[in-house]
């Protein structure tokens, strides 16, 4: 099905559907298509506390254009305080395990809580983005999030198709793309890429030969739960509270 047909199917099938937007280029397209199907669409986004200011500007531009609410999800402040107190505010530079712990606390856990009560969620994953995403299904059950349905309307789209749509429909897009960024996350963990680099090479660029995933969509490592692995070095997780 086309992306529009997929979204129509999702809204016809499920009572509560959330678009989870990072406000990268794919989010611009999904929100535009969905707004013509459901004017009361629900959009969630994660504010990790480390986003670049341009992301907040993009959120406001989308709110203004479509007249929609964007629900901003934030991490548990107590959990953030604990890991920062124990490991420092830039723990993610110290080791892969610390980076995964930071992503778990600031992104994965808040999203998991936010999606409880929803029947399905829409994401901007594309197979072309990375090897880890090559087998992305358009529709699949998501055991990582309460077994709800995960919908990726752009799974088969190319990067060129995303940008062709943005230009054709004159959509707002994240301003960091104009400064050489090809994938945008938290400010300390994202840089611009250079010609010839992988689309996600600017994410956690200091890591060598590591999976460029934070754990929202796929486990960051096949070796187990990152929080369980990292907790002995200073943070006990929710069970310790």
Structure tokens belonging to residue 118: 């929803």
Q: How far apart are CA 24 and CA 36, in angstroms?
A: 20
Name the nearest CA neighbour of 112 among 69, 82, 76, 68.
76
Tokens for 57, please give them.
């500007």
Strand partners, 73: 46
- Contact (CB, 8 A) for 144 and 114: no
DSSP structural state of residue 88 = -
Rg (CA), the chain: 18
> CA separation (Å) from 110 to 73, 92, 115, 126?
7, 18, 9, 23
Catalytic position from the list 102, 103, 186, 214? 214
How do the residues of the chain divide into helix, strand and coil, expressed in percent and rounded to 5?
45, 10, 45
Task: Answer whether 18's CB lies under 8 Å from 45's CB.
Answer: no
User: Can you point out the beta strands (E) in 21-177?
Assistant: 42-46, 70-73, 120-122, 139-142, 148-151
Place of tokens 């994660």: 46
Does 214 qualify as catalytic in the annotation?
Answer: yes
Active site residues: 214
């Amino acid at each position: 099905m086309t992306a529009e047909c997929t979204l129509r199917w999702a809204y016809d099938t499920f009572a509560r559907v959330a678009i989870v937007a990072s406000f990268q280029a794919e989010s611009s397209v999904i929100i535009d298509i969905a707004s013509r199907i459901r004017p009361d669409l629900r959009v969630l986004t994660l504010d990790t506390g480390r986003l670049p200011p341009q992301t907040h500007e993009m959120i406001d531009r989308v709110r203004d254009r479509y007249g929609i609410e964007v629900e901003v999800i934030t991490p548990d402040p107590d959990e953030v305080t604990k890991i920062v107190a124990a490991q420092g505010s830039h723990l993610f530079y110290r080791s892969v395990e610390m980076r995964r712990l930071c992503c778990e606390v600031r992104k994965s856990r808040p999203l998991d809580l936010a999606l409880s009560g929803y029947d399905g969620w829409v994401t901007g994953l594309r197979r072309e983005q990375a090897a880890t995403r090559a087998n992305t299904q358009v529709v699949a059950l998501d055991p990582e999030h309460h077994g709800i349905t995960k919908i990726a309307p752009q799974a088969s789209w190319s990067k060129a198709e995303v940008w062709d749509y943005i230009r054709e429909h004159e959509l707002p897009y994240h301003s960091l793309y104009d400064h050489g960024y090809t994938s945008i996350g938290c400010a300390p963990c994202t840089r611009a890429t250079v010609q010839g680099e992988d689309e996600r090479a600017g994410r956690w660029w200091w890591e060598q030969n590591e999976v460029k995933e934070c754990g929202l969509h796929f486990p960051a490592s096949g070796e187990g739960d990152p929080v369980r692995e990292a907790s002995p070095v200073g943070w006990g997780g929710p069970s310790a509270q």
